[in-house]
Amino acid sequence: MCPLGGPLFDGFSRGPKARLVCHCLLIETDQGLVLIDTGFGLRDVKAPYSRLSPFFIHFNGVQFEQKYTALAQVERLGFSARDVRHIVLTHLDFDHAGGLEDFPEATVHVMQTEIEAAQDRRGFIASQRYRPGQWDEVKRWKYYSAGGEHWFGFEAVRDLDGLPKEILLIPLAGHTRGHAGVAIDTPEGWLLNAGDAYFYRHEMGSPKQRCTPGLRAYQWMMEVDRKARIHNQERLHALSLDRSKGVRLFCSHDAIEFDEFAPPAKRMT
Ligand SMILES: [Zn+2]
């Protein structure tokens, strides 16, 4: 996404357009491929105005290119759509749920409160952010509520149906009602996809939190529960400072964080 405002959004662009990403994660497991979030999908690329809100298409400067879709990237790795057996969603916003229908065999895992909020979609922002056309053909859903053993002090959903026990949902409400991070216990330690619980890399990892004015305003515009959002962001910030926990975090839209995981030199474009 390339909203107008350049560095006022991303903190590094030189021109008038910022560079934000939709950071998806593909995990190879014994139960097949697991995709965390789906960004924009093929159908969004083909017919954006029949699926998405014109307001957000323009405001976020969405770039519709097939090569950026999760499906195109999964196929470039030598897999097919059918190999993706599970999709875990941080939330159902248009920039996370757009690729769901590109993977018809996948079971979709999401918090119960999130699907309820998405079906309710009352108010201008809710009606523009949640686009039922992106997910009305999903065949298999699994809904969850928090419970069970906590994860570094956070509530957690463990033992997701059919998924390896190394993948957990971590409820982080505020941006949306049922927003959640996804924690993965990897051979290199814990990784937390924090979704939209924060937006800018310098909100984490150093004692003083910083955010660009554009992303601060965007978070404010999109929040449904300010108190919960700030509280969760503060808890994540504390986790990011505690090196003894060894949790590596990233959010959905920061391009610099994305580049650290997938350096441009190694990326298949
Ligand atoms: Zn988002």
Determine the distance separating the centroid of ligand 1 and the alpha carbon of 90, expressed in angstroms. Answer: 9
Is 269's pLDDT higher than 70?
Answer: no
5, 19 contact by CB (below 8 A): no
Q: Which pLDDT band holds residue 263 (cuts at 50, 70, 90)?
A: low
Percent of residues in the chain assigned helix, strand, coil, to nearest 5: 35, 20, 45
Q: Beta-strand (E) ranges in 97-252? A: 107-111, 140-144, 167-171, 180-186, 189-193, 248-250
Ligand 1 centre distance from Cα of residue 27 (Å)? 20
Please report which helix (H) or strand (E) contains residue 234, including its range: helix 226-241
CA of 95 to the centre of ligand 1 (A): 5
Q: From the CA of 97, how far away is ligand 1's center (Å)?
A: 10
pLDDT band for 116, please (50, 70, 90 cuts): very high
pLDDT category, 264, cuts 50, 70, 90? low
Asked if the model's pLDDT at residue 250 lies above 70, the reply is yes
Tell me, what's the pLDDT at 31? 87
Q: How far is the CA of 77 from the centre of ligand 1 (A)?
A: 25
Q: If you average pLDDT over residues 233-252, what whole number do you get?
A: 96
Q: Give the C-alpha separation, 88 to 268, whole Å.
A: 23
Q: Is 265 exposed, middle or buried (0-12, 13-18, 19+ CB in 10 A)?
A: exposed
**Six-digit token pair at 183?**
């924690």
- The token duo for 212 is 């660009």
CA dist 116 to 91, 113, 119, 183, 228, Å?
11, 5, 5, 23, 18
Chain position carrying tokens 């014109």: 54
Residue 262, pLDDT > 90, answer: no
Looking at residue 261, its pLDDT comes to 83
Query: 3-class DSSP state for residue 179?
Result: coil
Contact status, residue 1 vs residue 31, Cβ threshold 8 Å: no
Phi, psi angle pair for 225, to nearest 5°: -145, 95
148 confidence band (pLDDT: 50, 70, 90): confident
Per-residue pLDDT at 266 exceeds 80: no
What pLDDT sits at residue 265?
61
Quick: pLDDT tens for 34-59: 999 999 999 999 999 999 999 999 99
Q: What is the pTM of this model?
A: 0.96
What distance in angstroms lies between residue 91's CA and the mean position of ligand 1's atoms?
Answer: 8
Cα–Cα nearest to 153, from 167, 172, 174: 172
Ligand 1 centre distance from Cα of residue 253 (Å): 7
Question: What SS3 class is residue 26?
Answer: strand
Residue 200 CB-half CA count within 13 A? 22
CA of 266 to the centre of ligand 1 (A): 25
Cα 58 to ligand 1 centre (Å): 15
How many helices and strands (H and E) does the chain possess? 11, 9
Q: Average pLDDT of 5-15?
A: 96
- Main-chain dihedrals φ then ψ at residue 201, nearest 5 degrees: -55, -35
Mean pLDDT across 171-188: 97
